[in-house]
Amino acid sequence: MAAITASMVAELRAKTDAPMMECKKALTEAEGNMDKAEELLRVKLGSKAGKAASRITAEGVVASQLISGTSGSLIEVNCETDFVTKNDSFLALVQAAADLIAAHNPADIAALGALPYEQDSFGPTLEDVRKGLIGKIGENMSFRRFQYFGGSSKLASYLHGTRIGVVVEYEGDEVAAKDVAMHIAAMKPVALTSADVPAELIEKERSVAAAKAAEDKAKAVAEGKPVQSDEIVAKRIDGGVQKYLKEVSLFNQSFVKNDKQTVEQMLKAAGTTVKGFTLYVVGEGIEKKVDDFAAEVAAQVAAAKAGA
């Protein structure tokens, strides 16, 4: 069985807000698998365990560039520490990448890196500048992902500091579109409508709801309490999935500036249509290495004793 370290427990607690001992139990049951342990906690503790699941674990910045009403870019560039996200040379590199994407529509990261650019005596390409700054600053950095926008739709963007970026493709009122971009940054929907939510996310939610229902049934049996029928349990599971779909689909969410109406209702009143959106959150989906300080100290002590 995999050893469950204090750092693993701390990482799971940071992701889920669950009690420390529950985190340790979940990790033990999951044999050290972080994703499985997180799902076990969601089954046992309900939504509480998922509230902080999207906390960011990697550093970097998001930048955008809109060069006209219908063309622009959004990019995420990662680095190792928060300190570098405030470095002027790093920020200049990020903005240059956003500008180059908007102007040239590169096919991928490699094509982006090959575009002409000079900075801090490095060049002649963007990739050369990136490599040069790694040596100058002393920290690794990488272009993680980007999106080029160049269709017929109008564009509205919103940056929440340098860690969250949104671009909305729309037709209609610019103010309403910018309000939606700000709403997306705050509420982080995964799709425009319930029908657009990826199937794998729906199945994961259904699996969690089913496992929670099974645990509730086992608890009722153990305590000698009435057990719900399979039909009622099935309805509970479907109800949980439907609730989830409304929570993560943009048009069904309550508008952050007026919770008496949905985003869809707000847009209709403003005569505006949102055709799509792109949301980048720095470090989303990236696991940041967590050093086990206690283990490191113990190893150093052991090494010192061995050399004595």
Please write the tens of the pLDDT for every residue from 233-266. 889 899 989 999 999 999 999 999 998 999 999 9
Residue 54 has pLDDT above 80, yes or no: no
Model pLDDT, residue 299: 53
Residue 303 has pLDDT above 60, yes or no: no
Which of 66-70, 137-141, 256-260, 286-290 has the lowest average pLDDT?
286-290
Work out the pLDDT band at 10, boundaries 50, 70, 90: confident
- Residue corresponding to tokens 């249509």: 273
Residue 156's nearest CA partner among 66, 80, 236, 246 is 66
The amino acid at residue 47 is: S
Which of residues 166 and 135 earns the better pLDDT score? 166
Model pLDDT, residue 189: 96
Model pLDDT, residue 291: 46
Nearest-angstrom CA–CA distance, 239 and 252: 15
Domains recognised in the chain with CATH numbers? 1-55 (1.10.8.10), 59-152 (3.30.479.20)
- Interacting residues of 191 by C-beta distance below 8 A, sequence separation 6+: 197, 198, 248, 249, 250
The mean pLDDT value of the chain amounts to 86
Model pLDDT, residue 13: 74
Please write the tens of the pLDDT for every residue from 199-233. 999 999 999 889 888 888 888 888 888 888 888 88
138: left (phi over 0), alpha (psi -120 to 50) or beta: left
Q: Average pLDDT of 4-19?
A: 77
Please write the tens of the pLDDT for every residue from 281-300. 998 877 555 444 455 445 55
